[in-house]
Amino acid sequence: MRKISDDVKNPQSWCGLNNPEIDDRDADVIIFGIPFDGGVSYRGGAAEGPAVLRTNTKHSTPATERLCYYDSLKVKDAGDFTGDDREQMFAEVEDYVASLVEKGIHFTMVGGDHSVTIPVHRGINKALNEDFGIIHIDAHMDLSYALEGDLLSHGSTEQRALELSNISSLENLYFIGIRSIEPDEFEFYKKNPIQVKTAYDCYAEGIDAIADQCIERMKKFNKVYITFDIDALDPAYAAGTGTPQMGGLTGRMALTLLEKLFGQLNIIGFDVVEIAPPLDPSLAAMFAGRKIIQECWGAWADRIGKLERK
């Protein structure tokens, strides 16, 4: 079920942009949370991500790092999808995302562990009659068929995506920031042409070149979705996550990458997942996630003419 708490209704949330009473069709951006971490294979805590992030957006402004403002952007917090029955909850998310995509509404999802991206992918697929692209920014490819017997594991997100009717091949997926691989993923990787740029590649080739290569491969899709696991960042920038891996992207690299992707591809939605506040009292991962959302919204505001420059 979708839960609407008092915080969800607070107009100060999401940098003071929250318009909780408007109709979905009148929103420039819909944001919702999925506070679920039952798909993890290691450390939990990501279920607290949406609430902690929502609370801390009251203390930020609708501005980009280039000092542009977008206070006229209409954002609606649609609440959190919760429930003890995972399959039922995922089905509700799938239907809701499908309704947003059908209406052409940009949306942002906050997790939760990376398994909560599975119903989002399914919702996009349900709404479309064409192939779409997925850019997976993460320390892990999440291509395990199952982890510990769980087909809906946070390590199986993109394996489930490959089962969708509008993901016709591995060319629909592009992976950035990878630096860890499971045994079954390695076997899959050896046998299949995966489009992947490791964190090492990002350092060696430069993040601008990585972004350009990704854009060149993904521009054939009219619609692209970005899923951003906060562990794509080096733990120095985002320690509060369940499965951190040393050697990741810097904050500067991540923002430059997203700026280029949003500037040259039609990004219809994105998520930020695996922020686990209990694992880091400084909340560095949460603040990183907040900045990612702000910059991506600034890019959308620019596209629709709601970004104010000096």
How confident is the model over 218-266, as pLDDT tens digits? Answer: 999 999 999 999 999 999 999 999 999 999 999 999 999 999 999 999 9
**Token output for 144:** 């395990």
Closest CA to 235 of 182, 181, 198, 280: 280
The pLDDT > 70 percentage for the chain reads: 100
| Calpha distance 132→172 (Å, rounded) | 7
Segments of the chain assigned E as strands: 2-3, 29-34, 75-81, 106-111, 133-137, 173-178, 196-198, 224-229, 267-273
Among residues 140, 132, 143, the alpha carbon closest in space to that of 169 is found at 132
The pLDDT mean for the chain works out to 96
pLDDT of residue 308: 97
How many Cβ atoms sit within 10 Å of the Cβ of residue 30?
22
CA distances 241 to 52, 192, 234, 257, Å, are: 14, 29, 11, 21
Q: 10 Å Cβ neighbour count for 69?
A: 17
Instruction: State pTM to two decimals.
Output: 0.97
